[in-house]
Amino acid sequence: MAAPAPQDDEFPWWLVVTVMLGALAGWQILTDDVHRQILVTLLRGVQITVFVTLVSFALASGLGMVLALGATAKSRIIRQVTRFYVEIVRGVPIIVLLLYVAFVLAPALVELRNWLGGFLGIEPVRTRAFPLLWRAIMALTIAYSAFIAEVFRAGLASVPVGQIEAAKALGLTGWQRFRFIVFPQAIRTILPPLGNDFVALVKDSSLVSVLGVLDVTQLGKVTSASNFRYFETYNVVALIYLTMTIALSLALRRLERHLRQKER
């Protein structure tokens, strides 16, 4: 016999415990000079973390939509190329992809730019002119575009074929069918898993620290190496990430409830 599904109106005791622990940690930070100094230092990295997350997610979403449309294209070549990209990228660990993009793909792009610039009379640039921050964003964009492409593909496939055929019968163009019929219905299926990918990207943005990008994690590593207060430093690092991810998760749950109410 299957276990009963959790009720949406169930009181969130987990949230109460989380808030209590967060309040305790916050009080300790406010009343302890060491914790407060660590927090002030790490907050400088929050801006980088948010920037990397937002830019990577926006670019990955755009590329993911293109890939999803490619996966449903009439051309077999386009479908196979899209599937090849998605499966290869999903099969490589993000940290490996990050290192590959930073130290293989980015220098290759710089060399290609210099080679083309030789024909156009453009001055060559050095590899270091490609900032590590944007190499990291490129890697996260490539990595998450493959996952987001599957989210979009599943959402587009959830739209009943009969409605698309009816739109064709009414004389709507392909773009009009997508804009007025397919996408408005697919977005309700797409938003929950897409939001989960956004939360996951907030956490995976910490991987950019391996390139020396001064996000929260990298500043935590530098701070703990200088003050040797590893326990206090990484407690604050964890608290910052938990604050961002739990806040996003709660916002996504509220959005899901709102969408379900609209469907009723």
Name the pTM for this structure: 0.87
Report DSSP letters for the chain, one per residue. Answer: -PPPPPPTTS--HHHHHHHHHHHHHHHHHHH-HHHHHHHHHHHHHHHHHHHHHHHHHHHHHHHHHHHHHHHT-S-HHHHHHHHHHHHHHHHS-HHHHHHHIIIIIHHHHHHHHHHHHHHHTPPP--GGGS-HHHHHHHHHHHHHHHHHHHHHHHHHHTS-HHHHHHHHHTT--HHHHIIIIIHHHHHHHHHHHHHHHHHHHHHHGGGGGGGT--SHHHHHHHHHHHH--HHHHHHHHHHHHHHHHHHHHHHHHHHHHHHHHHH-
31 confidence band (pLDDT: 50, 70, 90): confident
Average pLDDT rounded to a whole number, residues 191-198? 91
Read off the pLDDT of residues 82-118 as tens digits, 9 standing for 90 and up: 999 999 999 999 999 999 999 999 999 999 888 888 8
Q: Which of these CATH numbers, 3.40.50.1220, 3.30.960.10, 3.20.20.100, 1.10.3720.10, describes 44-259?
A: 1.10.3720.10
Q: Which of 43-57, 118-132, 201-215, 233-247 shows the lowest mean pLDDT across its residues?
A: 118-132
Mean pLDDT of 202-214: 93
CA dist., res. 17 & res. 250, Å (int)? 15
pLDDT attached to residue 1: 42
* Residue-range domain boundaries for the chain: 44-259
**Dihedral pair phi/psi, residue 75, rounded to 5°:** -75, 125
Residue 245 binned pLDDT confidence (cut-offs 50, 70, 90): very high
The neighbour count for residue 141, using CB atoms within 10 Å, is 22
